[in-house]
């Protein structure tokens, strides 16, 4: 693959899919739909496999990819730099406590984790894992900054995207050198809504052996009708104030260092309140 212009590297559960779908509306941008996870999970597939995932209709398009596993995979930064040393990087960050809980809820509704939330999110358990490690933003970004420098890394905040989506998308367009006169509206609806009725985790585990068999029928009217009969709003385990305080304490050193690095006041992330918006230095 001769050229890769940008990568959305994460973090998970921070509206990276919203950004991808918004950018895909731009006539000068090409991004493949699935998350390829090439530099994190399937690097052994080789460069030819990666190149084959990109089929831009024109040579003059700005080509990018989104995989939110790149940020929290230690090997990814070196692999990306080795293959595409001039690629531009976009990281979207979210209050790490809210990110961890959202990630837990996603896996819970998939039936991949149980209801004992403390088993997965309590820092005292000492297990780390994707839920806790996914919010260690300062450590994760250092590997990219050391190789690509700050000029090639744009950091966005989830809280600002929720309040000013147009302004944040414009920042991305400027960073990528997109033509301002071809602005497109950002995706307006929530890409993934945890309140949407879904097949419950217990039923998902029971149906798992049949997943491959029914995959070809997922978009048929009959499949959608059958799904609607068993889908329901998921009842998630509550993130208690006690557990939230422990998570804040766990992430506080990272948040302090990240705020200094970004020259942004991130103390709202430490105040155990619903975040409305965080200031960003332009």
Q: Does residue 281 belong to any structural domain of this protein?
A: no
Q: For residues 121 and 164, state if they share a domain.
A: yes
22's CB contacts (< 8 A; 6+ apart) are 165, 169, 184, 186, 187
What is the rounded distance in angstroms from the CA atom of residue 70 to the CA atom of residue 91?
Answer: 10
Q: Does residue 280 belong to any structural domain of this protein?
A: no
Task: Quote the pLDDT of residue 9.
Answer: 98
Q: For residues 266 and 134, state if they share a domain.
A: yes
Residue 264's Cβ-count burial label (10 Å; 0-12, 13-18, 19+) is middle
Residue range of the domain that includes 213: 198-232
Structural element, H or E, at residue 199: strand 198-199
Q: For residues 214 and 122, state if they share a domain.
A: no
Q: For residues 210 and 96, state if they share a domain.
A: no
Going from the C-alpha of 132 to that of each of 69, 85, 198, 203, 230, the distances in angstroms are 14, 29, 25, 27, 32
The count of domains in the chain is 2
Q: For residues 90 and 214, state if they share a domain.
A: no
Mark out the alpha helices in 115-199 (DSSP H runs).
118-121, 129-133, 137-148, 158-163, 165-176
Q: For residues 35 and 79, state if they share a domain.
A: yes
Q: Does residue 278 belong to any structural domain of this protein?
A: no
| DSSP E strand stretches across 17-133 | 29-30, 62-66, 88-93
Give pLDDT tens digits for 117-173: 999 999 998 667 899 999 999 999 999 999 999 999 999 999 888 888 898 999 999
Give pLDDT tens digits for 160-194: 888 888 989 999 999 999 987 666 677 765 545 45
């Amino acid at each position: 693959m001769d050229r890769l212009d940008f990568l959305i590297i994460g973090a998970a559960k921070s509206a990276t899919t919203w950004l991808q779908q918004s950018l895909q509306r731009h006539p000068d941008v090409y991004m493949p739909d699935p998350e390829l996870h090439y530099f994190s999970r399937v690097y052994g597939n080789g460069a030819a496999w990666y190149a084959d995932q990109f089929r831009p209709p024109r040579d003059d398009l700005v080509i990018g990819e989104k995989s939110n596993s790149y940020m929290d995979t230690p090997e990814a930064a070196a692999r990306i730099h080795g293959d595409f040393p001039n690629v531009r990087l976009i990281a979207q960050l979210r209050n790490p406590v809210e990110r961890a809980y959202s990630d837990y809820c996603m896996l819970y509704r998939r039936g991949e984790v149980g209801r004992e939330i403390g088993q997965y999110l309590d820092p005292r358990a000492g297990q780390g894992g994707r839920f806790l490690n996914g919010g260690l933003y300062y450590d994760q970004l250092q590997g990219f900054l050391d190789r690509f420098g700050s000029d090639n890394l744009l950091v966005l905040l989830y809280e600002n995207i929720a309040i000013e989506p147009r302004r944040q998308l414009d920042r991305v367009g400027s960073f990528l050198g997109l033509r301002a006169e071809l602005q497109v509206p950002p995706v307006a609806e929530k890409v993934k809504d945890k309140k949407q009725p879904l097949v419950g985790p217990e039923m998902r585990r029971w149906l798992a052996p049949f997943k491959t068999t029914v995959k070809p029928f997922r978009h048929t009217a009959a499949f959608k009708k059958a799904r609607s009969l068993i889908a329901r709003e998921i009842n998630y385990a509550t993130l208690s104030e006690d557990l939230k305080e422990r998570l804040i304490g766990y992430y506080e050193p990272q948040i302090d260092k990240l705020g200094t690095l970004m020259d942004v006041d991130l103390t709202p992330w430490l105040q155990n309140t619903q975040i409305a918006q965080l200031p960003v230095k332009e």
